[in-house]
Structure 1
Amino acid sequence: MVSTYLTFDLVNRDILKSLKQISGQTTVANDTKYYQDNIGKVKSVDEFLDNYRLYSYAMTAHGLDEMIYAKAFMKQVLESDLGDENSFANRLTDDRYKNFAASFNFASSASDTAVAQSGGQMDELFETYDQTIAAQEEQIEDDTRYFKVMLSETGNIKNVDEFLRNERLRNYLFTAYGIDGRYYNYTAIRGVLVSDPNDPASYYNTAYGGNLDQYNAAKTEDTELTERLSLNGTVPQLQNSITLGQEKKADLESQIAAKQAELDNGGDAAVLQPQINDLQTQLTATNNLLQEDQNKLTTQQTRLDELNARLVPVDQTAQRRAELAEIINGTKADAAYLGVMKALAEDFNFNADGTVPVGGAVTEDKLEAIIAGFFNKQTRVTHAEAMFNQQLFEEKIATATNVTDITSDPRLLKYIKVAFNLDKATVVKSTIEQILTSDLDDPNSYANKFGANNPQYLELAKAFNFNTDGTVAAGDAQTTLQSSRTRDYYMSRWDDKQESDYEKAVRFYKLDLAAVKSLNDFLSSDAQTSYEFALTAVGIDPSSVSKLTVKNALKSDLSDPNSYIYKLKDERFLTLARLFNFSKDGEVTAPVLAQSNSAITNVAKDYILRQTRFLEGDELEAKKKKAQEEAKYYTDTIQRIDSRDELLADRKLLDILLISKGIDPATITNDVLNKAFNSDLSDPNSFVNSQPDKRLAQIVGTFNFDAKGDVDRSTAGRAQNGGEVAATQSLYVRQLLETQQGEENAGVRLALYFQRMADTITDPYVILGDEALMEFFRITFSLPSEIGNMEVDQQAKLIEKKLDLKDLADPEKLEKLVKRFTIMYDIENDTSATASAASILGGSSGGISADTLWALSQIRMG
Structure 2
Amino acid sequence: MVSTFLSYNLVNRDMKTQLERLRSTNEVSRDADYYKENIGKVKTVEEFLDNYRLYSYAMKAYGLEDMTYAKAFMKKVLESDLTDTASFANRLTDDRYKKFASAFQSSSETKIVQTSKQIESVIDSHKQMLEDEEASVVAETAYFEANIGKVTNVDQLLGNERMRNYVLKAFELDTKYWDKTHLTKVLTSDTSDPASYVNTLAVANKNALKAFSNAFNFNSEGKLDSGTAVQTTDQTHTVTQAYTFNVPSHMVKAAAEMNKDYFESKIGSITNVDELVGDSRMLDYIKVAYNLQDVTLKSSIKNILTSDLSDPGNYATTFGGSAFEALTKAFNFETDGSIASGGTAQTSTQTSATSSLYMARYDDEQDAEDEDLYTYYRSKIGGMDSIEELKGTPKLYDFVLTAFGFDPDTTKDSIIEKTLTSDLNDPTSYANLQKDERFTSLAAAFNFDADGEKTAPQLAQSQLQITQTAKDYVILKTRYGNEDQKEKATEEASYYSENIQNISKVSELLDNKRLVNFVLEANGIDPKEVSKDFLKQIFASDLEDPESFVNQQDDHRFVEIVASFNFDTKGNIIRRDGSVQTRLGELNTEYLYLRQTLEEQTGEDSAGARLALYFKRMAPDINTAYDILGDTALLEVFRTAFSLPEEMSTMDIDKQKALVERFLDLEEMQDPEKLEKFIGRFTAMYDLANESDTDPVMSLFNSTGTISATTLLSIAQLKG
Asked if Structure 1 and Structure 2 have the same fold, meaning a TM-score greater than 0.5 normalized by the shorter chain, the answer is yes
Residue 435 of structure 1 contacts residue 457 of structure 1 at CA under 8 Å; is this kept in 2?
Answer: yes
Partner of residue 580 from structure 2, selected from 716, 719, 722: 719
Q: Does 1:534 align with 2:527?
A: no
Residue 601 of structure 1 contacts residue 635 of structure 1 at CA under 8 Å; is this kept in 2?
Answer: yes
**Which structure 2 residues correspond to residues 282-301 of structure 1 after superposition, within 5 A?**
none
Residue 464 of structure 1 contacts residue 477 of structure 1 at CA under 8 Å; is this kept in 2?
Answer: yes
Q: Amino acid of the residue matched to residue 345 of structure 1?
A: F
Q: Which has the higher helix share?
A: 1
Q: CA deviation at 1:91?
A: 1.2
Residue number in structure 2 paired with 1:59: 59
Q: CA deviation at 1:807?
A: 0.9
Q: CA deviation at 1:762?
A: 1.0
Residue number in structure 1 paired with 2:357: 489
Q: Does 1:602 align with 2:463?
A: no
The separation in 1 between residues aligned to 2:134 and 2:235, in whole angstroms, is: 19
Q: In 2 relative to 1, CA 214–700 (structure 1 residues): closer, same or farther, beyond 3 Å? A: same
3-state secondary structure, aligned to 1:183 = coil
Q: CA deviation at 1:46?
A: 1.0
**Which structure 2 residues correspond to residues 730-749 of structure 1 after superposition, within 5 A?**
730-749=591-610
Q: Does 1:701 align with 2:563?
A: yes
Q: Amino acid of the residue matched to residue 177 of structure 2?
A: Y
**Which structure 2 residues correspond to residues 317-466 of structure 1 after superposition, within 5 A?**
328=202, 332=203, 335=206, 338-339=209-210, 342=213, 345-346=216-217, 352=223, 363=233, 366-367=236-237, 369-397=239-267, 411-424=281-294, 427-433=296-302, 435-436=304-305, 438=306, 440=308, 448=315, 452-453=319-320, 455-465=322-332
Partner of residue 614 from structure 1, selected from 480, 486, 496: 480
The separation in 2 between residues aligned to 1:518 and 1:634, in whole angstroms, is: 29
**Which structure 2 residues correspond to residues 121-140 of structure 1 after superposition, within 5 A?**
121-122=115-116, 124-125=118-119, 127-140=120-133
| Two-structure CA RMSD over aligned residues (Å) | 4.6
Residue number in structure 2 paired with 1:74: 74
Q: CA deviation at 1:76?
A: 1.1
The separation in 2 between residues aligned to 1:692 and 1:545, in whole angstroms, is: 56
TM-score, normalised on structure 1?
Answer: 0.68
Q: Does 1:682 align with 2:550?
A: no
Q: Which range moves more in the overlay, 722-731 or 92-101?
A: 722-731
Q: Does 1:547 align with 2:413?
A: yes
Residue 703 of structure 1 contacts residue 722 of structure 1 at CA under 8 Å; is this kept in 2?
Answer: no
Q: Amino acid of the residue matched to residue 144 of structure 1?
A: V
**Which structure 2 residues correspond to residues 41-190 of structure 1 after superposition, within 5 A?**
41-106=41-106, 115-117=112-114, 121-122=115-116, 124-125=118-119, 127-152=120-145, 171-183=165-177
Q: Amino acid of the residue matched to residue 296 of structure 2?
A: V
Q: Amino acid of the residue matched to residue 774 of structure 1?
A: L
Q: In 2 relative to 1, CA 196–586 (structure 1 residues): closer, same or farther, beyond 3 Å? A: closer
Residue 400 of structure 1 contacts residue 474 of structure 1 at CA under 8 Å; is this kept in 2?
Answer: no
Q: Does 1:213 align with 2:81?
A: no
What 5-or-longer segments of structure 1 have no aligned partner? 216-327, 833-862
3-state secondary structure, aligned to 2:197 = helix
Residue 458 of structure 2 contacts residue 575 of structure 2 at CA under 8 Å; is this kept in 1?
Answer: yes
Residue number in structure 2 paired with 1:500: 368
Q: Amino acid of the residue matched to residue 663 of structure 1?
A: I
Residue number in structure 1 paired with 2:700: none
Q: CA deviation at 1:804?
A: 0.9
The separation in 2 between residues aligned to 1:400 and 1:347, in whole angstroms, is: 36
The separation in 1 between residues aligned to 2:37 and 2:165, in whole angstroms, is: 54
Q: Amino acid of the residue matched to residue 198 of structure 2?
A: L
The separation in 2 between residues aligned to 1:491 and 1:34, in whole angstroms, is: 72
The separation in 2 between residues aligned to 1:546 and 1:46, in whole angstroms, is: 46
The separation in 1 between residues aligned to 2:225 and 2:51, in whole angstroms, is: 81
Residue number in structure 1 paired with 2:629: 768
Residue 79 of structure 1 contacts residue 107 of structure 1 at CA under 8 Å; is this kept in 2?
Answer: no
Q: CA deviation at 1:380?
A: 2.0
Residue 421 of structure 2 contacts residue 451 of structure 2 at CA under 8 Å; is this kept in 1?
Answer: yes
Q: In 2 relative to 1, CA 459–780 (structure 1 residues): closer, same or farther, beyond 3 Å? A: same
Q: In 2 relative to 1, CA 482–795 (structure 1 residues): closer, same or farther, beyond 3 Å? A: same
What do the CA deviations read for 1:264-287 (whole angstroms, capped 9, x no partner)? xxxxxxxxxxxxxxxxxxxxxxxx
Q: Amino acid of the residue matched to residue 391 of structure 2?
A: L
Residue 398 of structure 1 contacts residue 475 of structure 1 at CA under 8 Å; is this kept in 2?
Answer: no
3-state secondary structure, aligned to 2:633 = helix
Q: CA deviation at 1:529?
A: 1.3
Q: In 2 relative to 1, CA 134–94 (structure 1 residues): closer, same or farther, beyond 3 Å? A: same
The separation in 2 between residues aligned to 1:673 and 1:116, in whole angstroms, is: 32
Q: Amino acid of the residue matched to residue 236 of structure 2?
A: K
Q: In 2 relative to 1, CA 33–569 (structure 1 residues): closer, same or farther, beyond 3 Å? A: farther
The separation in 1 between residues aligned to 2:343 and 2:570, in whole angstroms, is: 66
Partner of residue 479 from structure 1, selected from 329, 333, 347: 347
Structure with larger Rg:
1
Q: In 2 relative to 1, CA 62–448 (structure 1 residues): closer, same or farther, beyond 3 Å? A: same
3-state secondary structure, aligned to 2:581 = coil
What 5-or-longer segments of structure 2 have no aligned partner? 694-720
Q: CA deviation at 1:103?
A: 2.9
Q: CA deviation at 1:80?
A: 1.0
Aligned length: 691
Q: In 2 relative to 1, CA 601–379 (structure 1 residues): closer, same or farther, beyond 3 Å? A: same
Residue number in structure 1 paired with 2:670: 809
Q: Amino acid of the residue matched to residue 176 of structure 2?
A: R
Residue 738 of structure 1 contacts residue 753 of structure 1 at CA under 8 Å; is this kept in 2?
Answer: yes
Q: In 2 relative to 1, CA 584–721 (structure 1 residues): closer, same or farther, beyond 3 Å? A: farther
What do the CA deviations read for 1:358-410 (whole angstroms, capped 9, x no partner)? 98866266246424423323222334544454444444445656667765665
The separation in 1 between residues aligned to 2:436 and 2:33, in whole angstroms, is: 38
The separation in 1 between residues aligned to 2:551 and 2:418, in whole angstroms, is: 40
Q: Amino acid of the residue matched to residue 463 of structure 1?
A: A
Residue 541 of structure 2 contacts residue 548 of structure 2 at CA under 8 Å; is this kept in 1?
Answer: yes
Residue number in structure 1 paired with 2:525: 663
Residue 702 of structure 1 contacts residue 727 of structure 1 at CA under 8 Å; is this kept in 2?
Answer: no
TM-score, normalised on structure 2?
Answer: 0.79
Q: CA deviation at 1:83?
A: 1.7
The separation in 2 between residues aligned to 1:359 and 1:474, in whole angstroms, is: 41
The separation in 2 between residues aligned to 1:361 and 1:691, in whole angstroms, is: 76
Residue 643 of structure 1 contacts residue 705 of structure 1 at CA under 8 Å; is this kept in 2?
Answer: yes
The separation in 2 between residues aligned to 1:523 and 1:16, in whole angstroms, is: 56
The separation in 1 between residues aligned to 2:404 and 2:639, in whole angstroms, is: 61
Residue 705 of structure 1 contacts residue 712 of structure 1 at CA under 8 Å; is this kept in 2?
Answer: yes
Q: CA deviation at 1:68?
A: 3.0
Q: CA deviation at 1:90?
A: 0.9
Q: CA deviation at 1:460?
A: 1.9
Residue number in structure 2 paired with 1:759: 620
Q: Amino acid of the residue matched to residue 810 of structure 1?
A: D
Q: Which range moves more in the overlay, 146-155 or 133-142?
A: 146-155
3-state secondary structure, aligned to 2:409 = helix
Q: CA deviation at 1:419?
A: 1.6
The separation in 2 between residues aligned to 1:402 and 1:370, in whole angstroms, is: 31
